[in-house]
Amino acid sequence: MFSLSSTETTMTRFDPTAHAHKAVRALLFEAARAVGRTDFEGEPELPDLAATVRRALRFAERQAEQEERELLPHLRDLAPELAAELDVGAERLGRLGRKLDLALFQLERAGDGERAALGRRLHETIDLLVSAQLAHLRLVETKATRVLWAHLDDAELRALQQRSVAAIDPAELGEWLASMLAAGNPRERLELVAALGDALATSKALVESAW
């Protein structure tokens, strides 16, 4: 969960989800496009396709874990009905993610005569996942963010962000940051670098290469 200044009425507030959500969207769209462009009746480039899809799944799952750890405890106290709605959405996303991973696993091991049907299943599942994920992200960005803004100041939101960064496995930090930098425009990249400060100091080469 990372930052991007967002405007509501006349006030500019710190949004702790914006950068990561842009990356989730970008990676899922990239994965859906890769599935759609694959000829499963021919000789598909399954290793590249699998890597693209699993990268998107992995980022979305880690983002969900961070929101569960950092956002949901506040929302369960402040807006329990909204928290319950988000929990239901997260459970559905988890099921779809597992279904997508299973379809990909089966496709990687399929013979020539099986790939077309499994490819259609993969395509259908990723469509469902993208649709459900977009609805979930929008719910967080509208209702959940407004609850946080009403009860937490920007310093508290920035602290929430820093805890999220600190919780990322060092082995995944570079890929995580690269995904967010790639998803943003130049101004957003600068904001991300400034917001993360110390966390990005150890990834200077990554930040420079993303430009």
Q: Is the pLDDT of residue 202 over 70?
A: no
Q: Is the pLDDT of residue 54 over 80?
A: yes
Q: Residue 50 sits in which domain range? A: 4-209
Q: How many domains in the chain?
A: 1
The domain that holds 184 is classified in CATH as 1.20.120
> How sure is the predictor about 10, in pLDDT bands with cuts at 50, 70 and 90?
very low
Q: Is the pLDDT of residue 197 over 60?
A: yes
Structure tokens at 157: 């939101």
What confidence score (pLDDT) does residue 85 get? 96
Q: State pLDDT tens for residues 93-149.
A: 999 999 999 999 999 999 888 999 999 999 999 999 999 999 999 999 999 999 999
Q: Is the pLDDT of residue 180 over 90?
A: no
Put simply, whether the predicted model's pTM sits higher than 0.85 gets the answer no
